[in-house]
Structure 1
Amino acid sequence: MSKEKGAGKQNQPSFKVFGYGSLLWKHGFEFSTKKTGYIQGFKRKFWQENCTHRGTKEKPGRVAIIHEADENERLWGFMFTIEGSSNIEDAKQKLNLREAVLGGYTSFETSFYDEYGAVSNVLVFTATKESDLYVGSMSDNPHDDLEHIANQVVGAKGHAGTNAEYVIKMAHCVRKYFPEEKDEHLILLDKKVKEKLGKHSKSVYSYHEEIDIVHHGI
């Protein structure tokens, strides 16, 4: 690579987004790098309903958002860096449709810490109480809340697939790629969903070992 080309690449604009949910395995945009790391002070919660990707208006599913937690809590995921004006514009349009228009999410910026200690500013999508699809906790007892969520999950399906598949894939990704994270909410929900699916669960998650989120095309 010539110095001129290298300098041009260094000077081109970049955009960074943090993935902690379905972005872990389904991207839909071109990115130049993907780094493992975490944001602080948040944890996953399945407190947002979904009527498009993983449910319908008649039977809404549940999807993950992030909720404020202890300031030392670490939520692990991937930071995707998109470079170049056209790629950035394409990614922003696709993310806005996927997360905001169809998902009812909003976005904010926070600090991302990679596994080597470097800090970057990233965009994060989540939902707040202002969203029409936000439901929050259904019970003061965490286990009762998860039971309610699991019952809703196993009966929901949207144009992206079953809600159970969504939960199981996410739990698989967290176990495989972020063993440092102890996400009890997700892991217990995954367990409850599989128990409720019973003998039929194998058809939903038997292929999860084949998930390869290293390649851009997934």
Structure 2
Amino acid sequence: MVLWVFGYGSLIWNPGFEFDEKIIGFIKDYKRVFNLACIDHRGTPENPARTCTLEPTEGAICWGAAYCVRGGLEKEIAAMKYLERRECEYDIQTHLDFYREGETSEPALTGVLVFISTMDKEANKYYLGPAPLDEMASQIATANGPCGNNRDYLFLLEKAMSNIGHEDDYVIELANEVRDVLDSLKVQTPVDVQSPTKVLPLRSSVAY
């Protein structure tokens, strides 16, 4: 058997498990949103971070990276144990089609594993739901946890999307709003995660 996993958040720049192949591409009819709480990595129960999940949206596409784990059941089990521990806030494991750039009619891969969350605060205690952009930015700018702060998660995702050649307007807009909050708080952004200048969203005919 072969395990394929789609990363659309921190897995893009930091998969954290042993893999044999990485492909840049996208899934259809989902968009990336910062509606999930993290209370043990980049936030706390008192001040949760906001991290990515996916929201079903007809016509949208979500770019990211698919990772392949080959080499037998033991290797796959090890990868899954790691992922289930790391992605514990996500209560749904679904399997979706994955497309390569320029190949939009037929999927390059089928049955790719994707971790997402139920969009229901009662069903999933980690689901925060949407909020106004300025409120989300204030939360992300100030949340900190054992693995670092929330703003670096956002900035690293912004940088990762740029590195794979597929900037996300939503991520850029949120990151710029967080920079404005940090400016007002006189907080310095580390050089390795900041953009040289404020990034402007790239408009596209495709819904994100």
Q: TM-score range by the shorter chain?
A: 0.7 to 0.9
Deviation at 1:131, TM superposition (A): 1.0
Structure with more of its chain in helix, by fraction: 1
Name the CA distance, whole Å, in 2 between partners of 1:196 and 1:51. 21
Q: Distance in 1 between matches of 2:92 and 2:165?
A: 25
Between the aligned partners of 2:35 and 2:22, the Cα distance in structure 1 is: 27
Secondary structure at the residue paired with 1:153? helix
Question: Match for residue 202 of structure 1?
Answer: 189
* C-alpha distance after superposition, 1:177-218 (max 9, x if no partner): 133x5x332111100111211253333xx1138xxxxxxxxx
TM-score of the two chains, using structure 1 as the length reference: 0.80
Q: d(CA) in 1 for partners of 2:182 and 2:117? A: 28
SS at match of 2:35: strand
Q: Give the root-mean-square deviation of aligned CA atoms.
A: 1.7
CA separation in 2, counterparts of 1:189 and 1:202?
Answer: 15
The whole-number CA distance in structure 1 between the counterparts of 2:70 and 2:102 is 22
Cα distance in 2 for partners of 1:73, 1:169 equals: 22
Partner of 2:175: 190
Matched residue count: 185
Tell me the residue number matched to 2:46: 58
Match of 1:157 among 130, 133, 144: 144
* Match in the other structure for 2:125: 132
CA drift at 1:116: 5.3
- Counterpart residue identity of residue 29, structure 1: F
**Structure 2: which amino acid aligns with 1:32?**
D
Distance 1:187 1:66 in 2: 17
Structure 1: state its 5+ residue gaps.
1-12, 139-144, 210-218
Q: Counterpart of 1:79 in structure 2: which amino acid?
A: A
Kindly indicate whether the alpha-carbon contact (under 8 Å) linking 1:146 and 1:185 is maintained by their aligned counterparts in 2: no
Structure 1 letter corresponding to 2:125: D
TM-score, scaled relative to structure 2: 0.83
* Alignment deviations for residues 33-78 of structure 1 (CA, whole Å, 9 cap, x no partner): 00010000011100111101110011111001010112x3211000
State percent identity of aligned pairs.
31
Residue 108 of structure 2 is matched in structure 1 by 119
Whole-Å separation in 2 of the counterparts to 1:116 and 1:86? 34
| More moved, 118-127 vs 37-46 | 118-127
Change (3 A) 1:207 1:147: same
Instruction: Report if the CA contact (8 A) 1:18-1:79 is conserved.
Output: yes
Gaps of 5+ in 2: 195-208
